[in-house]
Amino acid sequence: MKTDTLPWSQACENNKGPILEVLRTWMPASGHVLEIGTGTAQHVVFFAQALPGLRWLPTDRPGTLEGATARIRQAGVANVATPESLDVLAWPDGITGAFDAVFSANTAHIMGWPGVEALFAGVGRVLRPGGRFLLYGPFAYGGEHTAPSNARFHVTLQQQDPQSGIRDMDDLLPLAGRHRLRLTEDVAMPANNRTLVWTRD
């Protein structure tokens, strides 16, 4: 339910259920999960309540964590840590250690390509061998968008920032491979989105 005091994303509310079903399939039953780009923290609170065996560390860009921290405190979920700052371009500063899984939603098309490169490099460093990286969002294949709405969204993103835009699997696959991340599953999601499941070799 929306509140007047916390930031809110209707998209998060719409997609959290379908994403949770993918997490149930591909996340471990227990372990430590790094969330990159927690935003409003609607996702992490919902997932943590549904998956009590996982302990979550939510992160986002410096200076953006006030609302997420307030939501997590209000929810009182014991298996979510206080959010921490993470600038992927400055990684590995700050967030270190070994995680059993990494989750990120709607981030790759917002970052510039150097940010996407840094994202995969950082995940490759902190994810345990055999761990999973679940990346949710819209993606293109061989230069083609999966829906006209995604093509329009890509144009809008690039008008706002020429370095942003929906990422193509032709670019992501070799990038991931350089960081020992292998595409294990590509799950179709509502609203022309996907969840990419990468496994750390």
Distance CA 135, CA 194 (A): 8
Distance of CA 4 to the CA centre of its chain: 25
pLDDT digits (tens, 9 = 90+) for 18-41: 999 999 999 999 999 999 999 999
Residue 65 identity (one-letter amino acid): L
> Is 4 among the domain residues?
no
> Is 54 among the domain residues?
yes
Domain that holds residue 87: 10-200
Q: Give me the number of domains the chain comprises.
A: 1
pLDDT digits (tens, 9 = 90+) for 145-178: 999 999 999 999 999 999 999 999 999 999 999 9
Looking only at the bridges linking them, the beta strands covering 84-85 and 99-105 are unpaired
Q: Kindly state the tokens that stand for 47.
A: 């997932």
> Is 1 among the domain residues?
no
Cis previous bond, 83, omega within 30: no
Q: What is the pTM assigned to this prediction?
A: 0.96
Distance CA 113, CA 119 (A): 10
